[in-house]
Homo-oligomer: A and B are copies of this chain.
Amino acid sequence: MEDSLRKALSQKQAAVDAQGGAVRELKASGAPKDAIDAAVQELNALKLDKASIEKQLQAALTDGNDNALSRDAFRQALVNTLERRLFYIPSFKIYRGVAGLYDYGPPGCAVKSNVLAFWRQHFVLEENMLEVDCPCVTPEIVLKASGHVDKFTDLMVKDEKTGTCYRADHLLKDFCKEKLEKDLTISGEKAAELKHILAVLDDLSAEELGGKIKEYGITAPDTKNPLSAPYPFNLMFQTSIGPSGLSPGYMRPETAQGIFVNFKDLYYYNGNKLPFAAAQIGQAFRNEISPRQGLLRVREFTLAEIEHFVDPDDKSHPKFFEVANLEFLMFPRGEQVSGQSAKRMVLGEAVSKGIVNNETLGYFIGRVYLFLTCLGIDKERLRFRQHLANEMAHYAADCWDAEIECSYGWIECVGIADRSAYDLRAHTDKSGVPLVAHEKFAEPREVEKLIIAPVKKELGLAFKGSQKMVVEALEAMSEKEAMEMKATLESTGEVGFQVCTLGKDVTITKKMVSISKEKKKEHQRVFTPSVIEPSFGIGRIIYCLYEHSFYTRPSKAGDEQLNVFRFPPLVAPIKCTVFPLVQNQQYEEVAKSIAKSLTAAGISYKIDITGTSIGKRYARTDELGVPLAITVDSTSSVTIRERDSKDQIRVSVEEVASVVKEVTDGQSTWADVLWRYPTHSSASVDE
């Protein structure tokens, strides 16, 4: 819409310019008045058209801004509630805080611990995964092997006068967005250019980023000083292990490496059998250059990662059928490239059509979908987006992100990648310890093995000093190359052969190499397993959950908006509250005995014996997302009120804990218990 308007506007401007020129020419050439009048009329019509398009464009941009405004207002209301009720607290607030560090306050901490408990149940327990717990402090050699020491960087620019640091891509992004949103005068062409930059921002090299920053004259946002050229900054927190200062270490940027280095032991623990999965929950650290986006981009966060080790020749999954019929929003590479949007797909079809690379990857996509939606993530605002070819590491076979839509846009919350054998190979190479699996054959198998035997004497005569490179190049040939060479040599006696390390082609004759296939008996196959890695950003999932659970509704008097979190009981920080209706000893005794039975049943609760009105107490507890409230209004039976429907039922004091347990454990729904007990409608406990 906005695009086509910009295009129309610039076309119309060109037409106005052309017509204006025509009018001037007619006047100058002393053309008849009729002709001039007609031309002027035409010009005016064009100008009116242009004004109308301008108005439409303005409106389109304002609409966008309005949406942005209501998004901002929603987020502000949410964040106010989250901070006021201590779901989170900016860390070290009394010392004016540290960007990108947040505490979970009591309800946030409870939500987090519920999410992690469910993660353990849903993944570790249900799939019999091997959970491990490794330290955060990691010696350099491990992160050298993984590539983090060399490549875990962001591009940074410095204010050349004050030394303040900025992320180069952030500055360019802000510039492009600002221009697109506020500047009506830019041409359609320019707008397209800026949009293209936004689309490819993540792929720009340091040189390209620096070039654009220079071209657009972008300066330091705070001072308008000139900026340095972009250069890489490593995002790991560095430290030193032990007192000597000679053992550099880092705070781990992910938990996965702790699992990879233990592969050998874990494989043994699993009875030397594949497939199996290991899992880890723990803190990870990224020393962000300038953290933004509140709880979404932080310097320390909890990751929950699974490394599923599987035979690269067999990535089928025995339980895939359990998720094959799930249908949800998927956004394959093809749809992204051709400008289409995400579409609903049946998971089984996505796998059978080869859109998802293999069953195991598909199985985890399905399990992640179930995990997130059970937590309360809105399934209409959840999609699985496949990485584009240029987003994926060269070794990855396929990669899908679970993206959740929130007020910041679509946010990557879980990454599900088939990383092939990359990680285990990297640690095998660096440590010299083979991280491999064995498949013992029931019967020894006859296999054909390619034998390339360079004849060194002949090669030495022919190539003298460069003989070694030729030998190595011959030995490195793939089976296909070797068999082609063999055929050519047999038919023509010689063949041209490219030796990369020499940078030229050489001629190989029949005498110089013997190529054959030999049959051999093998008793086992030794191979590096592939790893399929679902990696969960727990903090991001929780933040999106807050957005999807938050709503407001008018108070009974209608004079204010009340905040509610519609957390499912599984997630709710506290499962129920206990309110004596009025302050008297009798009711407080009953409340205490109920509290005791709740504790015994393992249900977290909060007792509120303030004299505040029941309506106010309900509002307070709705704001924490507490699903059930027990009001003690007699000594024999009490009222249970459900948060979202505000339905109330009457239950005897003896039964109340078990009813609450039934609903909060998920054995029954509220609807199930609603018909079993009399509903309540006494004015005294009305809201």
Q: Which residues of A approach B to under 8 Å, CB–CB?
A: 85-86, 89, 91-95, 98-99, 101-106, 108-110, 112-113, 120-121, 125-126, 128, 130-139, 141-142, 156, 163-165, 233, 237-244, 247, 249, 251, 258, 261-262, 264-266, 269, 271, 283, 285, 287-290, 299-300, 427, 430-431, 433, 435, 599, 602, 604, 606-607, 610
Provide the bound-state CA to CA distance between A262 and B88, in Å: 11
Take A125-B599, A243-B233, A604-B125 as given contacts and tell me if A95 and B133 are in contact as well, using a CB distance cutoff of 8 Å. no
Give the docked Cα–Cα distance between A80 and B543 (Å): 44
Per CB-CB distance, the 6 closest pairs between chain A and chain B, nearest first, are A104-B133, A94-B431, A106-B130, A94-B433, A165-B243, A135-B300
Pick from B85, B109, B610: contact of A133, CB under 8 Å: B109
Tell whether, in the assembled complex, residue A86 and residue B269 are in contact, meaning their CB atoms are under 8 Å apart. Answer: yes
For the complex with contacts A104-B132, A106-B131, A109-B131, 12 further pairs of A-B residues with Cβ separation under 8 Å are A89-B265, A94-B433, A101-B135, A103-B132, A104-B134, A105-B130, A105-B262, A108-B133, A136-B251, A137-B285, A137-B299, A242-B290
Which residues of chain B are near A604, meaning CB under 8 Å? Answer: 125
Contact B300 A136 (CB under 8 A): yes
Q: Which residue of B lies closest to A300 (CB)?
A: B135
A337 to chain B, nearest CB (A): 35
**Residues of chain B with a CB closer than 8 A to A94's CB:** 261, 264, 427, 431, 433, 435
9 CB contacts below 8 A, A to B, read A86-B266, A91-B134, A99-B242, A103-B133, A110-B131, A128-B606, A237-B240, A239-B251, A283-B283
Give the residues in chain B near A285, CB-CB below 8 Å: 136-137
How many copies of the chain does the oligomer comprise?
2
Least CB separation from A120: chain B residue: B113
- Listed residue (A125, A163, A242) with the most chain B CB atoms within 10 angstroms of its CB: A242
Contacts of A283 in B (CB 8 A): 136, 283
**Which residue of the partner chain, among B92, B130, B240, B258, contacts A142 with CB atoms under 8 Å?**
B92
Whether B112 pairs with A133 at a CB distance below 8 angstroms is: yes
Which residues does chain B contribute within 8 Å of A102, judged by CB atoms?
A: 135
Q: Which of chain B's residues have a CB closer than 8 A to the CB of A264?
A: 94
A134–B302 Cα gap in the complex (Å)?
A: 11
Contact with A105, one of B95, B106, B132 (Cβ below 8 angstroms): B132
Closest approach, in angstroms, between the C-beta of A422 and any C-beta of chain B?
A: 16
